[in-house]
Structure formats: C-alpha cells, structure tokens
Amino acid sequence: MTFKLAASPHAHQRRTTQQIMRWVYLALVPGVLTLMYFFGWGVLWQLALAIVTAWVAEAACMALRGRPISSAWRDHTALVTAVLLAISIPGMAPWWLIVIGTAFSIIVVKHVYGGVGQNIFNPAMAGYVLLLVSFPVQMTSWPLPQSLAQFDLSFWDTTVLIFSGYTPAGYSMEQLRMGVDGLTMATPLDSLRTALNHQLTISEALAQPIFSGLAGIGWQWINAAFLLGGLVLLKVRVISWHIPGGMLLGLLIPASIAWLFAPDQSVSPLMHLLSGATMLGAFFIATDPVTAATSNRGRLYFGLLIGFLVFVIRTWGGYPDAVAFAVLLANMTVPIIDKYSQPTAYGHASGGRGGQS
C-alpha cells in the first residue's frame, strides 16, 4: 500500500503550472484574433518574434544556472510572458523592439530574481515599461484600424516594414499612420489626451474619425474579446474574481465621479473600461499569481489599487494608457498588502501580522 505525499494546501483539484499557463494562452486567442483583424498581420510577427526570443532566453538562462532546459519549455511561463508583451506593443513595431523587451523580461525580470515563482514584478509589464521609456516613438506608433487606413498592407508588405522600416513601395510607418483624410491619428486614449491638452472638450475630441461606437474603432471589440477570454478563466477557476473585479471597480468608481462632475473634461466610465489594455490587464496581467497578493481580501485590495492608479495616470499622467505602470506600482505594495490582509493563524493574536502567539 502506497501513500502519496503533497504539500499544503491540500486542494481537491490540483493543476500544474503547465496546465494553468495553457488555459491562459488559450483564453487569449479571441483577443489576439480580434487584434489581428483590426490591426493586421504585424500582430502575428510580433508574437512569433517574442515566442522565439523567450524560448532562446529561457534556455540560455536555465543552462547557465545548471538546470534542465526542457523543464523551462514545458511549464509555458515564458510563452505566456512573450504573448502578453507581443500583444501590448504596436503590431508594426520594428523587429528589434520586441526582441529587446522579451529578452529583458525573461533574463532580468524573471531569472535574475531566481526564475519561476521568484520574480517580484510582472515580467511582461516590466519589459513593456522598459520599451516605452526607452523607445517612446516606436511604442506609440500604433497603425490605424483597417477601415481608416489609406494603404492596404499584405503579409509581405508588413514583413518588409517590420524588418526594414519601409514597405516595398517605400512608405514609412509615419506615412502609414495617415488616415484617408490626410491626418495622422493615434489610439483613442492618445487622441483624447492630445485633444484635452489643446483645451478641447470631450465632445469636440470625439468628433475625430478614430472614434466610433463605445470606445473607438476596434478597441471596444478588442476589449470585449479579452473580457470573453477572462470569463473563461473565471469559469474554469484558473483565476478568481477578486483581482479583475477589484481593478474594474477601482477604475469605474473614480471615472464615474469625474464624469458626473466634469463631463466635458472627463472620459466616460464606459470608455475607460473598453479602451486601451483595460480588460487584458484585469484578467490576464494583474492576475499573475506570483506578483499579486495571496489572500482573497488582499487580491481585492490589489485590484482596487491597480484600477485607481490606472485612472490617476490616464487622467493626469504623461502616458495615455496606464495599465503597465499601475501593475508595477501595485507589485511594490504586495508585501504590505499581504501583511495586513492575510487571516491570522490559529493561536496568534489578531491585529496585523505582528501578533505574538
């Protein structure tokens, strides 16, 4: 008769890291396909470059640490990091941008801190912030949605653009960002930020061609697709509702208050929820189990903090979207959140985590 020993907690349904990561990247499929539909073949190239770079960097780090390389590829953590970073940057970004960001995420943010389960910052968002601070022009050069673009790029056109900076016809990225009316346009959040800085009202800013529907052409559907994937993760219990629910609530409450008192100078709550990386951040980025709080109450506080920081940075910060910065700032607060949110162990005094038995 044999006995199987397992570390606590002794759950009825146990999943390996590989199984969890597989559910995550499968749930990302609707959002990735929607992103490709609106922004073209470049998304596919960014994914391919990121995945190859992540696998090579992971293998090199494991070899240098004297660990088996095969184990690094089996757990899929590097794959998920690569995918999250690849879909966070402009699809037409030059090839070296995603290579630098992915290598930094895997080598520095993940393995310098000890590998899987040891990093204190979300690797994908740390790589994103590195790229945004170091290469702001390339990181904010999003292509126009297909319906507004005056050039229809084939797969070959996109490939040449990513690897050379120009299409076979000689068009640069800046020229490709010119809409059919001859005006250069950015993402909805970036366009709103620019309009408000020029003392325009929200209604005047929304008259731009980039805006349509609830939150701008393409972006509301992209966020809806990531929301669908997030609901799948909730359904199969890969994640709990506390972090995504807290983040969306933490963003919705201040956005609603600001919109109620200053509707001509504030973005609507619905646009906050359906623009930028809101749903991707809530269900796929902030829920990283390694860098988030551990207790359910702590996860709720963690999510609320991220949502509030997203609102603050979007409203008064220097960048139109704020999910990456908000997640990294919240990562720094995890030790203090855990200290005051974890339940007191039986036999220890209540009131903080410093109680004595």
Average pLDDT rounded to a whole number, residues 171-184:
60
With CA atoms as reference, report the closest residue to 43 among 52, 54, 51, 32: 32
Instruction: Answer for the pair 120, 327: CB distance below 8 angstroms, yes or no.
Output: no
Tokens of 208: 């731009």
Q: Tokens 């470049």 label which residue?
A: 42
Residue 356 pLDDT = 39
Whether the pLDDT of residue 71 is over 90: the answer is no
Residue 261 lies in a domain: yes
Residue 215 lies in a domain: yes
Q: What is the per-residue pLDDT across 138-162, written as a single tens digit (0 to 9) for each? A: 887 777 776 666 667 888 988 998 9
Whether the pLDDT of residue 73 is over 80: the answer is no
Q: Alpha-carbon distance 133 to 180, whole Å?
A: 30
Instruction: Work out the percent of the chain whose per-residue pLDDT is above 90.
Output: 47
Mean pLDDT of the chain, nearest integer: 83
Residue 138 pLDDT = 85
User: Looking at per-residue confidence, does 270 or 347 come out higher?
Assistant: 270
Q: Alpha-carbon distance 38 to 221, whole Å?
A: 9
CA distances from 210 to 102, 139, 220, 320 (A): 30, 19, 12, 15
Average pLDDT rounded to a whole number, residues 49-77:
86
Instruction: Answer for the pair 143, 177: CB distance below 8 angstroms, yes or no.
Output: yes
Whether the pLDDT of residue 169 is over 90: the answer is no
* CA 72 from centroid of its chain's CA atoms: 22
User: Looking at per-residue confidence, does 337 or 25 come out higher?
Assistant: 337
Whether the pLDDT of residue 273 is over 80: the answer is yes
Residue 328 pLDDT = 96
Instruction: Work out the percent of the chain whose per-residue pLDDT is above 70.
Output: 78
Residue 356 lies in a domain: no
Q: What is the per-residue pLDDT across 180-234, written as a single tens digit (0 to 9) for each? A: 444 445 666 776 766 666 666 666 666 666 666 566 677 889 999 999 999 999 9
Q: What is the per-residue pLDDT across 237-251, written as a single tens digit (0 to 9) for each? A: 999 999 999 999 999
Instruction: Answer for the pair 155, 54: CB distance below 8 angstroms, yes or no.
Output: no
DSSP string, 97-161: HHHHHHHIIIIIIIITTTSTTT-SS-HHHHHHHHHHHH-HHHHT-PPPPTTTBSS---HHHHHHH
Tokens of 93: 């970004």
In this prediction the pTM is 0.86
Instruction: Answer for the pair 46, 128: CB distance below 8 angstroms, yes or no.
Output: no
Residue 33 lies in a domain: no
Residue 191 lies in a domain: yes
Q: Alpha-carbon distance 39 to 144, whole Å?
A: 7
Highest mean pLDDT among 56-60, 69-73, 111-115, 226-230: 226-230
Whether the pLDDT of residue 337 is over 90: the answer is yes
Instruction: Answer for the pair 18, 116: CB distance below 8 angstroms, yes or no.
Output: no
Query: Which uninterrupted H or E stretch holds 227?
Result: helix 219-235
Average pLDDT rounded to a whole number, residues 274-285:
93
Q: How confident is the model at residue 353 (pLDDT cuts 50, 70, 90)?
A: very low
Q: How confident is the model at residue 345 (pLDDT cuts 50, 70, 90)?
A: low
DSSP reduced 3-state for 335: helix
Residue 354 pLDDT = 43
Whether the pLDDT of residue 3 is over 60: the answer is no
Domain that holds residue 221: 185-340
Average pLDDT rounded to a whole number, residues 123-152:
82
Tokens of 356: 């004595």
Residue 8 pLDDT = 46
DSSP string, 177-219: TBBTTS-B---HHHHHHHHHHTT--HHHHTTSTT--TTTSTTH
Amino acid at 139: M
Q: Tokens 């366009």 label which residue?
A: 191
Tokens of 119: 């990093």
Burial of 56 (0-12, 13-18, 19+ CB in 10 A): middle
Domain count, the chain: 1
Tokens of 3: 């006995």
Residue 294 lies in a domain: yes
Q: What is the per-residue pLDDT across 6-18, written as a single tens digit (0 to 9) for each? A: 444 444 456 777 8
Average pLDDT rounded to a whole number, residues 261-282:
87
Average pLDDT rounded to a whole number, residues 78-107:
94
Residue 100 pLDDT = 97
Residue 314 lies in a domain: yes
Amino acid at 65: R
User: Looking at per-residue confidence, does 67 or 110 come out higher?
Assistant: 110
Q: Alpha-carbon distance 173 to 156, whole Å?
A: 15
DSSP string, 58-72: HHHHHHHTT--HHHH
Q: How confident is the model at residue 178 (pLDDT cuts 50, 70, 90)?
A: low
